[in-house]
Amino acid sequence: MTESAAISDRARDIAARVETFVRETVAPYESDPRCEDHGPTEQLSLELKELARQAGVLTPHILDDGSHLTHAETALVLRKSGLSPLGPLACNTAAPDEGNMYLLGKAGSAEMQERFLKPLVEGRARSAFFMTEPADENGAGSDPSMMQTTATQDGNHWVITGRKAFITGAEGAKVGIVMAKAEQGASMFLVDLPDPAIRIERVLDTIDSSMPGGHAVVAIDNLRVPADQMLGNPGEGFKLAQIRLAPARLTHCMRWHGACTRAHEIATDYAVRRQAFGKPLIDHEGVGFQLADNLIDLKQSELMIDWCAEVLDTGALGTAESSMAKVAVSEALFRIADRCVQVMGGTGVTGDTIVEQIFREVRAFRIYDGPTEVHKWSLAKKIKRENRVE
């Protein structure tokens, strides 16, 4: 499918407006002191979202009638929102909200959408997805079947107890989606936050710093959830997770592709202007070739994202395709960010440009949403199934 066939003029216009907004309005905020170690402050988040609202680019991938752009169109728009690490936050296309909105739009009842989805789409609330658990307790991580958090039915309520880890945005979130193991199997629950039964033990110090609230370790102690706040039916947690999984995995690729595009622009500008040994840096093959490699990796990543998006647009789950895209794109983007740092030398490891942060963010991305090795293992199992020797 050609891009002209896959992308509507409406989506192109949205993407162009998002790019202008992120470059001209959001990027100057990158040096704002409210960008802290555990992510932008709530005040900065709300300020940026208000600017996006005024510019008409808040939650741009969800249209006024509640429908979504196609995955292929979303890819174009979210790449533009990612041109600054603050862009997805400002435009309300950031994780985990974007994935949670998608899931609630697909699987939530009308009542759930009005109560939990609408504030997210309007940028009035943030959300958190409570699935991963502490490794030192042998809890669920890359293998969700190891889930230790339990849900027990008590009349017309469910009682949830356990601990969660790496819960992005838990601090300051108003909507929670909690995964817990019921007698029937893994199940999902919608909860209002904050709740005294959900206690943030600590916010982890991680190398990335673009997401409000950071990544928290959370204790859940006898959380009572009304039965009508279960998403789907008991035991359908993993089935519902599959709805969210591939699209959310791919939108991570989209956003960080935008960030690495920006890092490449900054490194290129530096290499053209900086003189060394009698000529611009870019005229040294050791530098120019790295920038050429960046162009190749950026284009290959873009094509991989678009290919997977088109698979999802057929209605397929795209589990294997999104695994392939996640591996290929996250590894390529890290190479790009690493080269940008290297081309810029000492400047590349300072906070004088956004390149250093993009390097840190993309390094974390190689682990988040499933490490490369887990995706390759999953793909190897698929290969074995499809080539079984009788």
> What is the chain's length?
390
pLDDT of res. 142: 84
Q: Is residue 202 within 8 Å of residue 216, measured between CB atoms? A: yes
Q: Which positions ≥6 away from 209 have C-beta within 8 Å? A: 35, 36, 37, 38, 39, 357, 360, 361
Label residue 59 left, alpha or beta by phi (over 0 means left) and psi (-120 to 50 means alpha): left
pLDDT of res. 39: 96
Q: Coil, strand, or helix at residue 175?
A: strand
The two structure tokens encoding residue 233: 């039916």
Residue 296 has pLDDT above 50, yes or no: yes
Query: How many other β-carbons are positioned within 10 Å of the β-carbon of residue 225?
Result: 21
Q: What's the average model confidence in pLDDT over 280-294?
A: 98
Looking at residue 70, the DSSP 8-state letter turns out to be P
Q: Coil, strand, or helix at residue 134?
A: coil
Q: Coil, strand, or helix at residue 299?
A: helix
Q: What's the average model confidence in pLDDT over 110-128?
A: 97
Looking at residue 235, the DSSP 8-state letter turns out to be T
pLDDT of res. 101: 98
Q: Nearest to residue 18, comparing CAs of 175, 69, 247, 116? A: 69
Give the model confidence (pLDDT) of 262-286 as tens digits: 999 999 999 999 999 999 999 999 9
Q: Nearest to residue 307, comparing CAs of 250, 356, 244? A: 250
Residue 286 Cα distances to 265, 276, 282, angstroms: 18, 12, 8
Q: Spell out the domains of the chain, with CATH numbers in brackets.
A: 3-94 (no CATH), 127-234 (2.40.110.10), 238-386 (1.20.140.10)
Q: What's the average model confidence in pLDDT over 302-318?
A: 97
Residue 390 has pLDDT above 80, yes or no: no
Residue 70 has pLDDT above 90, yes or no: yes
Q: Show the DSSP H helices in the chain as ranges.
A: 3-6, 9-21, 42-55, 71-81, 87-91, 97-107, 110-112, 118-121, 237-273, 285-313, 319-344, 355-365, 372-386
Which range (138-142, 170-174, 373-377) has the least confidence? Answer: 138-142
Q: Which residues pair with 187 in a beta bridge?
A: 180
Give the model confidence (pLDDT) of 4-54 as tens digits: 457 999 999 999 999 999 999 999 999 999 999 999 999 999 999 999 999
Q: What's the whole-model pTM score?
A: 0.96
Give the model confidence (pLDDT) of 133-167 as tens digits: 999 999 988 888 899 999 999 999 999 999 999 99
C-alpha–C-alpha distance, residues 334 and 214, integer Å: 21
Query: How many other β-carbons are positioned within 10 Å of the β-carbon of residue 124?
Result: 12
Looking at residue 26, the DSSP 8-state letter turns out to be I
The two structure tokens encoding residue 239: 């089935």
Q: What's the average model confidence in pLDDT over 212-218?
A: 97
C-alpha–C-alpha distance, residues 364 and 323, integer Å: 17
The two structure tokens encoding residue 57: 């680019």
C-alpha–C-alpha distance, residues 246 and 316, integer Å: 10
Task: Tell me what the pLDDT averaged over the chain comes to.
Answer: 96
C-alpha–C-alpha distance, residues 62 and 225, integer Å: 29
Residue 3 has pLDDT above 60, yes or no: no
Residue 204 has pLDDT above 90, yes or no: yes
Burial of residue 208 (number of CB atoms within 10 Å: 0-12, 13-18, 19+):
buried
* pLDDT band per the 50, 70, 90 thresholds, residue 1: very low
Q: Nearest to residue 320, comparing CAs of 370, 388, 255? A: 370
The amino acid that residue 206 corresponds to is T
pLDDT of res. 192: 97
Q: Which positions ≥6 away from 347 have C-beta within 8 Å? A: 270, 353
